A and B are shown apart, each in its own frame.
Chain A
């Protein structure tokens, strides 16, 4: 008897091999790809986010769950494409120009992918122009900016201003985050949203693309 909860458990426990095996079993049993993602991967990553919020999970546990989720997604992705499934949203994410910190950004990228988004990860030290080009090429509706130093936070403003100057500000929602970033700062630079953790980022992203 196929127990699909095993897939959820494997992701929550950070066991990528068990997640891959459970995914293959589900596909063999005829479970639709979209169900695997929305009923299992999304729910499992929501639980992982919750545990991070209440400090049961820390960065290592998050990274392991993300690894397990990605192992499952690797298998499911071609089937999703074949079924014509659409992602919840398309998000371009990166750490802003001058800043090399990326672990937090990587966690948010994983959480968004696990949350059903198509994620275009530009890495770290990303110039405003690269965000603009990637968002346009990939028809993104969301841009997520990360910074870990107060000295690189001004690059968030330059990036938002660059979208404005290019006449593209209205084509995307822009969310910001990172340890020194605050709601007040996000408001002052004209960002559409701010989240204070990887766990909250997915809920915010969903709200922004639905608006």
Chain B
């Protein structure tokens, strides 16, 4: 098959690895990290634009390297080519290899901040995609410069207080981490923020099944031309809507 993969850049290394080993020819396109900050409808519109640019008749299917991602894939319509989306809430589920494993870990480890290769190296110096996130990654100096000493300091504390509510940084290892640099960086971040640090083995088998065309209904939703992907609000995460 010839397939097109539209994926979040957070999964860059993992997707490239899987596609390089796929028996199918997969054309890759990566979109910027952080589209979920735009909100569900704007994110879906951005991905729809890329889907709509795909030439008709060139691919047997368009694969989506995403989960539901805060409803950012809700409403996406298949035009002339079927769309295939994993039944995942987000990329953390994909990196862990299953919905069940993600939910079990999530419920058993409250207050966890997740990192992976892409979550560390992608989006550094991220162009501000939306003013919804304005102020969240600014330094104390920048906030003081913008809002004055008193208000600037107050905003910096308010907008970074969430860090005290998290307890652990979990790095999901997929075996693609070069020479320990990602582990070291993740451990350093945990130390800086006063969080404990855990390494959890990831499982890329779900991503591999995406790019190898093994789309069982249990793991993937397939939207035929004219159908839309929609949030199902149940354990299947997403469904098809005609």
Contacts and interface: CB of A to CB of B under 8 A. Distances in A.
A67 B134 contact: no
Interface residues of A, number: 28
Contacts of B40: 179-180, 182
B107 A98 contact: yes
Most buried by A among B107, B134, B158: B158
Contacts of A184: 233
A150 B135 CA distance: 24
Given A60-B147, A98-B107, A179 B165 contact: no
Most buried by B among A14, A101, A124, A151: A151
Interface residues of B, number: 33
Nearest to A57: B131
A101 B132 CA distance: 15
Contacts of B102: 151
A153 B147 CA distance: 35
A151 B131 contact: no
B118 interface: no
Contacts, number: 80
B153 to A, nearest CB: 12
Contacts of A151: 89-90, 102-103, 106
A67 B110 contact: no
B30 interface: no
A185 interface: yes
A153 B233 contact: yes
A188 B231 CA distance: 12
B132 A58 contact: yes
A105 B143 CA distance: 22
B165 A124 contact: yes
Nearest to A55: B131
B151 interface: yes
Contacts of A14: 151
B139 to A, nearest CB: 14
B231 A150 contact: yes
Nearest to A123: B165
Contact of B155 (A64, A102, A149): A64
B135 A58 contact: yes
A11 B48 CA distance: 41
A125 B164 CA distance: 13
A151 B147 CA distance: 35
A28 interface: no
Nearest to B92: A151
Contact of A64 (B89, B151, B237): B151
Interface string A81-106: 00000000000000000101111001
A69 to B, nearest CB: 14
B207 to A, nearest CB: 19
20 contacts: A14-B151, A58-B131, A58-B132, A58-B134, A59-B136, A64-B154, A98-B106, A100-B165, A100-B166, A102-B165, A125-B110, A125-B165, A148-B70, A151-B90, A151-B106, A179-B71, A180-B68, A184-B233, A185-B231, A188-B233
Given A63-B158, A151-B102, A182-B71, 10 more contacts: A58-B131, A58-B134, A60-B155, A63-B159, A64-B147, A64-B154, A102-B165, A125-B165, A151-B90, A179-B39
